[in-house]
């Protein structure tokens, strides 16, 4: 048996959008179950996101500490952001986020993982990149606002982040998936076997 997620779409007999926000919305679908019954499913509609695990020459990961109001915590995270433009190339979006949040750039880009963050209640898809050969970005720093104006920036050794995830001290999805995927890749086929940065992404198709 091949263990692989596969596309499938059950019949929807009615749909509505009871809430539409600035970036996301809530959709209500009446879905036909395999036994023929119909049940209502509410979920958040999300444009998708990208995240960047930026690794420097000392094997440290570039991380940010940011307040997240829904969970009432200040979380350590990796640079990330929304796919604001439909069909936007995720690599370009990731490069933008690395510049805006960390004033950094990278020469080597790979795909670490593609994940659905909360598929039971949201259709958000995230592509997590590995970025290496880091350098400071040219020009002025991007002017941040709102929660991002209070961000802290640090570089933390990868083993310390892996330990923190497994100890239940670090909770951000992209950080956890990113550092554990990197650690697994190193003991597997190696980083050069990771998918190229332009690998297809069926969850959020994009232009080359």
Which contacts qualify for 88-95: CB closer than 8 Å, 24 or more apart? 88/206, 88/207, 89/198, 89/206, 89/207, 89/208, 90/48, 90/50, 90/127, 90/129, 90/201, 90/204, 90/206, 91/129, 91/197, 91/198, 93/50, 94/50, 94/51, 94/52, 94/127, 94/129, 94/131
Strand order of the β-sheet with 152-157 is 73-77, 60-68, 152-157
- Identify the active-site residue in 138, 140, 148, 207: 148
Q: In the numeric block, which tokens belong to residue 205?
A: 């198709």
Going by the DSSP 8-state scheme, the letter that residue 124 receives in this structure is -
User: Which ranges in the chain belong to alpha helices (H)?
Assistant: 90-102, 158-166, 173-187
Please tell me the total number of residues recorded for the chain in this structure: 208
Neighbours of 42 (CB within 10 A): 12
Q: Would residue 148 show up in a list of annotated catalytic residues for this protein?
A: yes
Q: In the numeric block, which tokens belong to residue 170?
A: 């670090």
List, by residue number, the catalytic residues: 148
């Amino acid at each position: 048996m091949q263990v692989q997620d596969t596309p499938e779409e059950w019949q929807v007999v009615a749909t509505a959008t009871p809430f539409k926000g600035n970036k996301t919305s809530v959709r209500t679908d009446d879905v036909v179950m395999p036994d023929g019954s119909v049940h209502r499913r509410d979920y958040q509609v999300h444009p998708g996101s990208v995240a960047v695990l930026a690794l420097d020459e000392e094997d440290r990961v570039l991380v940010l500490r940011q307040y997240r109001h829904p969970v009432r915590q200040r979380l350590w995270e990796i640079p990330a952001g929304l796919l604001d433009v439909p069909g936007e190339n995720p690599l370009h979006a990731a490069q933008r986020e690395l510049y805006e949040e960390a004033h950094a750039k990278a020469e080597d880009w790979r795909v670490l993982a593609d994940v659905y963050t909360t598929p039971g209640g949201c259709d958000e898809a995230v592509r997590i990149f590995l970025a290496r050969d880091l350098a400071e970005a040219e020009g002025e720093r991007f002017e941040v606002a709102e929660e991002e104006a209070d961000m802290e920036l640090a570089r933390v050794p990868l083993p310390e982040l892996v330990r923190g995830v497994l100890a239940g001290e670090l909770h951000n999805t992209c950080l956890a998936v990113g550092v554990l995927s990197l650690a697994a890749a190193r003991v597997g086929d190696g980083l050069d076997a990771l998918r190229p940065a332009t690998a297809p992404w069926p969850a959020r198709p994009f232009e080359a």
